[in-house]
A = this chain, B = another copy of it.
Amino acid sequence: MFDSAVTVDLVVLTIRRDALSVLLVKRGAPPYAGRWALPGGFVGAAEDLPDAAVRELREETGVHETAGHLEQLASYGAPDRDPRGRVVTIGYLALLADLPVPQAGTDAAEAAWHRLSDVDRDRLAFDHERILADGVERARAKLEYSPLAAAFCPAEFTIGALREVYEAVWGTALDPRNFHRKVTTTPGFVVPTGRWTTGERGRPAQLYRRGPATLLHPPMLRPA
């Protein structure tokens, strides 16, 4: 038996200009000073793990977890993963609507959204490349059988906006017509508000809110 430091690290994803993006902070102090890292930090002595994740999200990035989604991802505890000594980290996955620019917090010199395709994975601090990959994979998989895609959208959204979420996360084009029918006929996925967009290009679209379903029956299937 021995004691270990315990941290939480967050994979915070959003869609910005049709691209899946992750929130990274530039480390201001060693180890890995100057390198990009997932936001995160030490768990408090009397703090539960989800509370620590919510706190770090708020403190280090200025993001208040309101309408988004937060879930535990996995834990990472290789003995040499932190040069300061034994540190076990609990990864969390957060999905958010595109929101105001993040604020750098105490430990971070800078916080910014990065398009996933632009992240220099080999240059991330610690084992954050692995944690990021696990988070993205989890998000991709969960879009199939859960209504989580709506967590990337504001409270009211169009079916077209929801489709763009799927397209950004999966990196594939979807047929707008079949997608529309599928989403609106899957029970509990979305509920119409009766309001409509205006001033956009093309025919106005109805606005929807998230529905009560927690699991999609039938699921949304990724194209082969």
Chain A residues within 8 Å of B, Cβ to Cβ:
1-6, 42-49, 72, 74-79, 86, 88, 90
Contact = CB atoms under 8 A, between A and B. Distances in A.
A6 B78 contact: no
Given A72-B74, A74-B72, A47 B6 contact: no
This chain's copy number in the assembly: 2
A76 B79 CA distance: 20
Contacts of A42: 1-2
Contact of A6 (B44, B74, B88): B88
A44 B1 CA distance: 6
B48 A79 contact: yes
B77 A49 contact: yes
A4 B6 contact: yes
A4 B86 CA distance: 11
10 contacts: A3-B4, A4-B4, A4-B5, A4-B6, A43-B77, A46-B79, A47-B79, A49-B77, A74-B74, A88-B88
A72 B89 CA distance: 14
A77 B79 CA distance: 19
A48 to B, nearest CB: 5
Contacts of A45: 2, 79, 86
Contacts of A43: 2, 4, 77, 88
B78 A90 contact: no
A42 B4 CA distance: 11
Nearest to A45: B2
Contacts of A79: 45-48
Q: Which 6 A-B pairs have the closest CB atoms?
A: A3-B3, A1-B42, A2-B45, A49-B77, A75-B75, A46-B79
B1 A77 contact: no
B44 A2 contact: yes
